[in-house]
Amino acid sequence: MSIFGRLFGNKKETDKPVEQRTMFNLQINDIVTFDLEDYTVVGKISYDDHGFKWYAYQLQGTDKTLWLSVEMDDELNLGIYEKIKLPVQEPIPKEISYEGTTFYLDESGKARVVGTGRSENLTGLTCEYYDFYDDSDEKSLSLEKWGNEIEASIGYEIEEYELKIIASS
């Protein structure tokens, strides 16, 4: 390789430009900045409930893991969630109290999922989901039933401008 090739790199005709990222096409190893902290996208779950689709991205930070929920329902809806320990048994109640806040069941259903990255082992599974909101609709609580296990997350809505995306190559 010539000296110029080493200095400036040899661009191959097969090198493709990095695809512009949106909330709907984040990729594993992309960086998402939220609340002045950088998170790496390490997993993605795509949900499909009879044609209604939404996504959850697992974001790994230095000290914690967040989930970014992305849904288009007349307008873009984004939420940030953290997993919590909440003992819930079936049948799923219509009200749940957590840390002094009462949450009310808003919607539920079943979705087929496809996972990538750390979530790839979920591909082909069906998840039962239950979405709860507090009286002010500011906080949300999400339950997901995977087989016999019920996972709980607490979260809130955010605006797109609160996120910055840096695409991985």
> pLDDT tens-digit profile of 115-150?
999 999 999 999 999 999 999 999 999 999 999 999
Instruction: Give 11's pLDDT tier (boundaries 50, 70, 90).
Output: low
Position 29 pLDDT exceeds 90: yes
Residue 92, amino acid: I
> pLDDT tens-digit profile of 58-105?
999 999 999 999 999 899 999 999 999 999 999 999 999 999 999 999
The domain in which residue 104 lies consists of 3-166
d(CA 110, CA 148): 14
Start-to-end CA span in the chain (Å): 23
DSSP class of residue 28 equals: T
d(CA 18, CA 131): 35
Instruction: Give 18's pLDDT tier (boundaries 50, 70, 90).
Output: confident
> How many domains are there within the chain?
1
Task: State residue 19's pLDDT score.
Answer: 85
